[in-house]
Structure 1
Amino acid sequence: MSRFPELLAAAAVSAGIVLAGPALAGKFGLGTKATSEEIAGWDIDVRPDGQGLPEGSGTVSDGEEIFAERCAACHGDFAEGLDRWPVLAGGRDTLKSGNPVKTIGSYWPYLSTVYDYIYRAMPYGDAQSLSPDETYAIVAYLLYMNDVVTDDAFELSKENFTSIRMPNENGFYDDDRDASPIARPHEVCMSDCKTDVKITKRARVIDVTPDSEDGPEGMNVD
């Protein structure tokens, strides 16, 4: 530490250096105020009730062409998934099995999540390059591949979006337990704690969601 703090401070001020401190707190003058157009570009979330959906539409046949060009390299021509990329179709009635296949048709509860995720994050490496019409078309194709709609001439739009009900919409429930099985900060063990942890179940085997009607069974470690 300098033996001449006054000289050091004076030198800093003369050099134009601003020293941090409570007396200097305030606006930093960094960045620019977001415009309404920029905010609209970020405000793209879509909710289960359809709020946030843009105008537009797309057919199953159009979606098949777009999917083949923009999505099939990872997910396969029929949404079956290639290599270790996610499977998007099939898996119905597998959630209670030892090898559950979680797809749009077997697991996802709301169609809004499908649209939101594709429009926001896909295709991989080129996110947000799809137009609303292209996204509607891809979602329509995925609905068809999951037998949620059976008409290959089906057209998905903002107007009929909320009329679509996903097969697993009622497969979720709120965690209504009064106490969480996860330790709170004040409950953290400070003495005579367990020295090791034994894994008693695998999440993939039990598929996380319990079979009992009483609700979640809690932690899967002992």
Structure 2
Amino acid sequence: MSIFKSSSILSLWGVILLATGVALAGANFGREATPEEMAAWNITILPDGRGLPSGGGTAVEGAAVYGEKCAACHGQNGTGGPADRLVGGIGTLASDKPIRTVGSYWPYATTLFDYIRRAMPYDMPRSLSNDEVYAVSAYILFLNGLIDKEARMDATTLPKVVMPNRDGFISYWPE
């Protein structure tokens, strides 16, 4: 047998033994997430309000947070800036030029809370406290004429806000 063949066979056996050892040892990547870690990422909020956290806020409180954290992108009164407008457009969806805003298009107020909590402000997502998110949500709902300025939004009251387009979406799934 030639030296080349012997070294090839020896190398092949080395690779097989190494692969067997790795397979027996297991991948051993990472670790199982703890219940606390999973709870921290379980931030799903359903349209009926399930999953909303404790806390609360009013439009009056939200105006200050909005001015500091939101107005640069969405405009001073939510009517537009570099980012989408949040206010107005109610009754325009069936027109030639629909204006899709929180007040005209979004079907649930809980979705507003969920989106702000997850994604806003754009440059620092998930940086607002629950109270700040409730307050900003209340402020945007107030600007759209959907709640009073003093109305406190929390896990009980927010799901009760009836958005103008709540029944404007068609489900393709049977009930």
Shift of residue 27, structure 1, vs aligned partner = 3.9
* 1:165-202 Cα distance to aligned partner (Å, 9 max, x none): 1110011111269xxxxxxxxxxxxxxxxxxxxxxxxx
Amino acid at match of 1:98: D
Name the residue aligned to 1:146.
Answer: 144
Contact 2:107 2:165 in 1 (8 A): yes
1:78-97 equivalence runs, <5 A = 78-83=77-82, 85-97=83-95
Aligned partner (choices 134, 141, 160) of residue 163 of structure 1: 160
Q: Please state how far the C-alpha of 1:12 moved relative to its aligned partner.
A: 4.3
**Residue ranges of structure 2 left out of the alignment (5+ in a row):** none
Asked if 1:19 corresponds to 2:9, the answer is: no
Return the TM-score normalized by structure 2. 0.87
Contact 2:53 2:130 in 1 (8 A): yes
Residue in 2 aligned with 1:74?
A: 73
Question: Distance between the aligned counterparts of 2:34 and 2:71, measured in 1?
Answer: 37
Percent of matched pairs sharing the same residue: 40
- Partner SS for 1:58: strand
Length-normalised TM-score, structure 1 = 0.69
Count of aligned positions? 169
Residue 98 to residue 25, structure 1, CA distance change in 2 (3 Å): farther
Structure 1, gaps ≥5 residues long: 178-222
Sort the Cα spacing of 1:172 and 1:34 in 2 relative to 1 into closer, same or farther, 3 A: same
Q: Which residue of 2 aligns with 1:41?
A: 40
Q: Which has the higher contact order (CA 8 A, sep 6+)?
A: 2
CA apart distance, 1:19: 3.4
Matched, 1:28 2:27: yes
Q: Greater share of helix residues, 1 or 2? A: 2
The equivalent residue for 2:127 is: 129
- Classify the secondary structure of the residue corresponding to 1:19: helix
Shift of 1:37: 1.6
Instruction: Note the aligned Cα RMSD (angstroms).
Output: 2.4
